[in-house]
Structure 1
Amino acid sequence: MDVVLRDVTLRDGLQLTGKPLPTTRKVELVRALLAAGVPELEIGSLARGDLVPPLADTLDVVAALTPGELERCWVWVATPRHVQRAVAAGARNVQYCFSVSDAHNNANIGRDTEVSLAAMPEAVGHAVDAGGRIQLCLATAFTCPFDGPVDPDRVLGIVADPRTAGSCDVVVCDTLGQAVPSEVGSLVARVADAADGRRVAFHGHDTWGQGVANGLAAVASGATLLDGALGGLGGCPFAPGASGNTATEDLLFALRPSWLTPEVLAGLVTGSEDLLAELGEPNRSRAAQGVRSRAAAFPWTAGPRD
């Protein structure tokens, strides 16, 4: 069975960009990625628009998509009220996110971790009542920018907490990109054991160059969903020291899901190049560099653009 790649360009990828992306362009990108075969997308956030301006139009993006498209899309939420607003706009899949670290949860969401956890049953209820799905997403599962290393037992305690019942997935986040494969493999394996049948996802950043290695370590330990962003775009505005996400192109080249062909990868690279040029952002994908190489005997190369 293929590992599912979820592209998070339109949420985690855009939240640190200096230039806004028009709503129509976001909708165009959603449809291009889905048409290419990308199984799932994260398309925005209900974070306050004054704090994260590039994502202020998320509900407009949701409203522009069809029910069939929204079945494959996720929206980041942090409160029960966020869930209500998202499902009222048409969203069916929400990612309820809070930080394992109190310090980061306060910086990111404005409350202690326990407050976010206590509100989760209400959030689950709103999602289920709308016929949707809700993920438990745990930011700073490895390290916190303010408090340093995070105790794995704190992560496991949240996963096993009965107040997270009803979530369909557990997303383990290396928010700062400071984890190494051995740490990722160990924690993901423990989360998989405690997840009680829920799908386990890994969300990694490539700050220290370990993004793909960490993703593969997560898969080897039981994760069946990985997050990535085109060109390695992104980072958390409330996590000093974090850089971009692991590049979608790099993860796909490593995973080789059944739907990926050299032509599809080349198309994704072209779309990524256009987007990054539009935003004035660098391309951090190594696979994209490979696709543009002149190694004509290798079937995954497409050569330089005309």
Structure 2
Amino acid sequence: MTAASTTPILRDVTLRDGLQLTGKLLSTERKVAAVRALISAGVEEIELGSMARPDLVPPMANTLEVVEALTEDELAHCWIWVATPGQVRRAVDAGITNIQYCLSVSDAHNKANIGRDTETSMSAFPESFDIVRSAGGRIQLCLATSFTCPFDGEVDPQRVLAIARDPRAIDADDIVICDTLGQAVPAQVSSLIAAAAETNRDRRVVFHGHDTWGLGVANSLVAASAGAAVLDGALGGLGGCPFAPGASGNTSSEDLLFATRPEWLTPGTFADLVELSESITTELGEEPRSKAAQGARSKAEAFPWVIPTT
């Protein structure tokens, strides 16, 4: 991305997708502090949790407590993951109206992840849409396994586009295209994002990439060039899907920010985010995977993005 081009928005997904595989629950206070630190730094959008059953995804157990602790202005930056109209209603009743309704393009993964086939999830979207719109909120249609499925292999791009163009979902505010396993290559990402963007120019396309095969940043950058307005990333490259064997960390938020250089990002705010990332990964006992964060701790102190040693 160049300074003259449109810079994509980062949505930080640390507190949802980033925590899913850790098996550890961050306290409500810790999550609230992280949301506020991200907003203070300049991050415009945050995925703060999910309505998944806590017995299945324990790190999400206190999501509604986090929602309750945040102000209305803070919640305006935040999205919550849901998979059923009942979860949508609970989230809206709790006070959050930016809803990410997720289903998998692959029936096999949708059954493993949500417990039903893709068409059943899709048929419930209009009800979810109506609940959100009645509350004055926004809703995204999130398409997991848009490139490959851990059970069925390659996913036909036309199946993805058929769902994106489905009349039942064409009025969704955003469409989220997910490389759940991180197995896509840039040519595939560019082609599918461009086609998805063409289906409805009034909604945003979000690209959710993983770095399992080392192409998270490359895929995200070509997605932005192809029309994605928002890129998902997690601090330290945390994350993955507990119901998708072979899925590992998200594309690192630090790496995406260093690559795209939004106007609000300065060496100082970047250092703050690196330190936030380090504190979270340390608390979780997770190995940080961000290359940009590693570079920021190098000895090349003439480079302004390196964090000075004290």
Tell me which interval the TM-score lies in, with the shorter structure as reference length.
Answer: over 0.9
1:45 corresponding residue in structure 2: 50
State the alpha-carbon separation in 2 of the partners of residues 196 and 139 from structure 1: 21
SS of match in other structure, 2:244? coil
Identity %: 66
In the alignment, is residue 286 of structure 1 matched against residue 291 of structure 2? Answer: yes
Q: 1:178 aligns with which of 171, 175, 183?
A: 183
1:27 is aligned, of 25, 32, 37, to: 32
- Aligned-partner residue type, residue 188 of structure 1: I
**Contact kept in structure 2, 1:27 and 1:65, CA below 8 Å:** yes
Which of 131, 154, 157 matches 2:136? 131
Distance in 2, Cα, partners of 1:6 & 1:67: 18
1:109 aligns with 2:123: no
> Do structure 1's residue 275 and structure 2's residue 292 form an aligned pair?
no
Deviates more, 1:210-219 or 1:186-195: 186-195
Once the two structures are superposed, residues 145-199 of structure 1 have per-residue CA deviations (whole angstroms, 9 ceiling, x without a partner) of: 0000000000000011010033100000000000011110010011011134210
Other-structure match for 1:98: 103
- 1:200-279 maps to which residues of 2 (within 5 A)? 200-279=205-284
Q: Gapped runs of 5+ residues in structure 2?
A: 1-5
Aligned residue pairs, count:
305
State the alpha-carbon separation in 2 of the partners of residues 66 and 174 from structure 1. Answer: 32
* Separation (CA, whole Å) in 2 of partners of 1:159 and 1:255: 27
Q: 1: distance between equivalents of 2:172 and 2:29? A: 31
Answer whether contact 1:192 1:200 (CA < 8 A) is retained.
yes
| Cα distance between partner residues in 1 of 2:7 and 2:298 | 27
**Stretches of 4+ moved more than 3 A in 1?**
none
Q: Give the 3-state SS of the residue equivalent to 1:164 in structure 2.
A: coil
What SS does the aligned partner of 1:259 have?
A: coil
Contact 1:87–1:127, Cα closer than 8 Å, also in 2: yes
Q: Is the 8 A contact 1:108 1:238 kept in 2?
A: yes
**What is the distance in 2 between the residues matched to 1:18 and 1:52?**
8
Aligned partner letter, 1:45: S
TM-score between the two structures when normalised by the length of structure 1: 0.98
Which structure 1 segments of 5+ residues have no match?
none
Question: Is the 2:236–2:277 Cα contact (8 Å) retained in structure 1?
Answer: yes
**TM-score, structure 2 normalization:** 0.97
- Which of 78, 87, 91 matches 2:83? 78
